[in-house]
Chain A
Amino acid sequence: MTTPERPKLQTYTLSSGYVLPSIHAWPPFFTQQRNPTIIADQISHWTRIILSYARHRRLFVLRIQDADLREDNQWSEIFWNPRIKRVMKPRHLETLIESMVNAGEAAYEPPRQTSSVLIFWRTPEEWAELLHEWATNTGHLNTILTFYEIIEPEVPSQFTDMPLPLLRKALNTLTKTGRAQIIERAEGGGVRFFAR
């Protein structure tokens, strides 16, 4: 189908080192398509970009307001392509977010609204495993750790800046299998890990 005259779409490396796929330079990629097949393809590619970029930049939260911003924003590097003058529209992002939530790749946070999500570039279960592994390796089993100690450690770890709701989701999966116990305090919660 392709003919040589048409210029080939190129990948683009952002200043942060993230490599945008070549599809990001295809103008229809920024328009909400009508054909269900095309939409499915479009969503899967967008989801992949969002997740990999969030992992790259360690971004945990995505809001609909992040769309349609032609300025420096943590998300604008992928939602705005000044080289082809295309920008992500809020309505389009809303449907993207919705499909990500349905696929378990994001969760509305706070719940019962649709404009802000936690991005699961790691699922809560994966986070739980990492947490338990980290507690085991660092000798924090059977001792009480506050949430604050986990997400704002003195030495930066992979849990630094992790949103508290995401941490709770991860810990909740551990409590279900009896590997952790959440202790609620008025001044903030804590957790105690158990070995298996």
Chain B
Amino acid sequence: MTNPFRIIDGSLPVSSLLYEDEELVSSQDGVGLYDGKEKTVGRQNGTIQLTTHRLMYIDQAYPQRNSLSLALSAVRQTEFYAGFLTSSPKITIFIHTDTRPPPTPTTPSSSLLPVINVGELSTPMQSWVCPVCSYNNPPTASEGRPKCVLCGVIRDNRAYVASITHTPLHRSPSLPSLRLPVSSTDSPLSESLTISESSNSQPESIECSVCTYLNHPSMTSCEVCGTLLYKRKVPSRSSGSTPFSSSPPPSTPNGTPLEASIPSRDMLRMSFRKGGYKPFYNSLKKALMRKAWEGSDALSQRGSGGASGAPRLGIQGIFESMDNNVVVVSENMHAGLRDLEALMTKAKEMVELASSLNTKLTAQEEEQARRRALHPDLSLGLSMITEPEEATFIRSSLAQLGLPTMAVTQDMVKDEDSYHEELARELAGILSGKGVTGKGLLGTGEGIIGLDEVWCGWNRARGVALVPPSSLLLSVPYLSQYTSPPIELRVFRSGLRVLHTPKYSNNAFSERLVALLNATPAGFKTIIDIAMGEHMSVGLAEEMIQDVEDAGRVARDDGGANDETRWYVNILHDYVWDGAEAPS
């Protein structure tokens, strides 16, 4: 793996820093870098460029010296700090520590300071000549083992070594974007390379082995006799004499110390002093999600692994991906339905569990009651006081959740009619509260309930084996057989359906209403008065009064205060004319 940080030459225009498959995503100026909690010296004012593959810091003051880039593939995590008062907003980037290479024993000094050695530099980002077709491949920002753009042969290290031998880095015309750190001109490029690269500022010439002409370092064959030039190194005065010499401490040729080193921490913090952090952070996250470097990586892997050697293209490829999608979707659906089926098969067991819990609690309660009766003094104990309370609580919640007996399901009865009859018997128990410890749905006071509430309450009691509304409607006619006083269904003019006890039948209610109105001194009641008196909702009261009105027993008066409707006993029917009779 490579060091994710790289020194780049920020004096070049950004577009020329990009690799062929890299795109500029976002940029923001006025950014400073932090090394841990401390400001990084020399990298306090620059521009951050976000590409699909890298994050680049271009220093404003010393773009050549202090600019650096970070491969996005090394980013482990990002953090965002919105800023407070004088503190600027910051984005912290955590870097995979395990990707850092162990220091090579042959380059001991480079491990002390994170100066890039050529071995690290080389791996993904160099241009290289294909050993098969000799095509000079452009550098790519993608990781993984690249393959030749022209012939598709995967690059091996041998080929790379050969290429770098013949195309010295900083002279290569195909490498405008990559520039070695200033300090690295002093260090040997690589211990593996016995290249005749000069370590001082003056480039070293290559001596031809045949005619001894000193060729320019960029030449690969002798200018005079055409002999292939080998890496015979002409001794120079300042460079390390052996290829395995250690790197000198990083310093610029003119002796000034390096102002900003490559960050050694496994995190990078960017302070956005001129704002713009939000869009930048968003695009950073998008770029991290996109994983552009992996895309080409995967492509190359597929290319190497697959027999076809190339991804499917064209209509065939589209069809293939569509087929794959269909397979994936149907697999997901089947997996989801399997879960549901499993739940259905377990439903009975769950109901059994609930009922067994219920019986256990009943037994326990009885036993405690007996014990308390036997030993009245014991009931003063704290445990004896609290336990029944807990038990009642559990029981009441159980009663709300479960049925006293097993829920009736269609497979338990022989035909449809008896199924609905059984359902009606069960519903009767729920409504009247018989057999259930808790209060019945109809309760003690109301005696009238909407069918929707019944359905919800019933299904809550059943838990899993739910009853469809159609079954409820079909079982309601049987209901009066199993309830006393009989519970009847009533459909109002609006379509509202309720279940009610005889107390709330139309006749009983209208008698009550007329008596109530007659007993009122003013002779009228509003809907709210009536609803409160009957302990029912206003909407329900309105429906019931309308039914009484339909029978002609009450009359409305809309002229009251607040536009509320007042209800009067209808006297028109029995009215005898007592007004003036004009002479005809």
Q: Which residues of A contact B (CB under 8 A)?
A: 1-3, 5-7, 9, 11, 18-24, 26-35, 37-38, 41-42, 45, 48-49, 52-53, 55-56, 85-87, 121
Contacts and interface: CB of A to CB of B under 8 A. Distances in A.
Contacts of A32: 558
B575 A23 contact: yes
B518 interface: yes
Given A27-B566, A35-B552, 9 more contacts: A1-B574, A19-B580, A21-B579, A31-B556, A33-B556, A38-B549, A38-B555, A53-B582, A86-B557
A30 B572 CA distance: 12
A48 B576 CA distance: 12
Contacts of B581: 52
A55 B582 contact: yes
Contacts of A45: 572, 575, 577
A26 B584 CA distance: 27
B552 A27 contact: no
B560 to A, nearest CB: 8
B550 interface: yes
Interface string B534-558: 0000000000001001111001111
A9 B575 CA distance: 11
A190 B573 CA distance: 48
B577 A31 contact: no
Contacts of B568: 26-28
Nearest to B558: A31
Contacts of A9: 571
Among B524, B555, B577, find the residue whose CB has the most chain A CB atoms closer than 10 A. Answer: B555
B557 A34 contact: no
Contact of A35 (B518, B549, B580): B549
A5 B514 contact: no
A2 B569 CA distance: 9
A2 B552 contact: no
A34 B571 CA distance: 15
A11 B579 contact: yes
A73 B570 CA distance: 30
B521 interface: yes
Contact of A30 (B524, B551, B557, B584): B557
B235 interface: no
A70 to B, nearest CB: 12
B341 to A, nearest CB: 54
A18 B197 CA distance: 130
A41 B552 CA distance: 11
Contacts of A31: 555-559
A40 to B, nearest CB: 9
A86 B559 contact: yes
Contacts of B558: 31-32
Contacts of A21: 577-580
A33 B555 contact: yes
A20 B579 CA distance: 5
B166 to A, nearest CB: 102
Nearest to B561: A85
27 contacts: A1-B569, A2-B518, A3-B518, A6-B523, A7-B521, A11-B579, A22-B579, A23-B572, A23-B579, A26-B571, A27-B524, A27-B559, A27-B560, A27-B568, A28-B557, A30-B557, A35-B551, A35-B570, A37-B552, A38-B573, A41-B572, A45-B575, A45-B577, A48-B579, A52-B579, A52-B582, A85-B559
B572 A3 contact: no
Contact of A38 (B523, B546, B559, B570): B570
B556 A52 contact: no
A28 B557 CA distance: 4
A159 to B, nearest CB: 16
B579 A38 contact: no
A35 B550 CA distance: 5
B519 interface: yes
A34 B547 CA distance: 11
Contact of B518 (A1, A23, A41): A1
Contacts of A49: 579
B566 to A, nearest CB: 7
Contacts of B518: 1-3, 5-6
A38 B552 contact: yes
Nearest to A37: B552
A20 B577 CA distance: 10
